[in-house]
Amino acid sequence: MQFNLRLLKEDDFLNGFFDTLSNLSEIGDLNKNSERIKEIFKELSCNKNFKIIVAEDKENLKIIGTATLFIEQKFIHDGGKVGHIEDVAIKKGFQNKGLGKEIIKELIEIAKEENCYKVILDCDEKVSRFYEKIGFKRHSIMMRINI
């Protein structure tokens, strides 16, 4: 399987992006609301701290993977920056082919270019081994409150 890694573009929304994301979590009705999608895309594109990357199948140029990096500027650690990885999703049928690993490694490279001193992410126990193979270490507990 051959793929390109690149930043999300607006026409990816008609090209498998939501199919891919839906393998991670519920999308709701957003994919039926093209105006709202455009609004969100515009907002995120203007934010230099947000990088959504996609993997595009070289054969048919459909989106088959995605993940987001956002960069947090801190006052601690000498005004350092932290990269947060969110919403890692691989399209059904394209898992366990090394695609996720390449996407994560690409986000780590972007975080390096942005001078982050660390990259963090939250994940379930069952996928922690995947991240450990890339070099991540268990660090702490993620806690959540629904509001």
81 Cβ contact partners less than 8 Å away, ≥ 6 residues apart: 71, 72, 73, 74, 114, 115, 116, 117
The letter for the amino acid at 122 is D
Angstrom distance (rounded) from CA 141 to CA 90: 25
116 binds a copy of itself (CB under 8 A): yes
Which CB sits closer to a copy of itself, 1 or 115? 115
> Which of 2, 11, 35, 79 is the binder for a copy of itself (CB under 8 A)?
79
18 binds a copy of itself (CB under 8 A): yes
Radius of gyration of the chain, Cα coordinates, nearest whole angstrom: 16
What is the Cα–Cα distance from 111 to 15, expressed in whole angstroms? 27
Binder to a copy of itself among 35, 76, 93, 96 (CB under 8 A)?
76
Q: Which residues bind a copy of itself (CB under 8 A)?
A: 17-18, 21, 24-30, 36-37, 40, 43-44, 47, 49, 70, 72-80, 83-84, 86-87, 108, 111-112, 116-125, 128, 131-132, 134-147
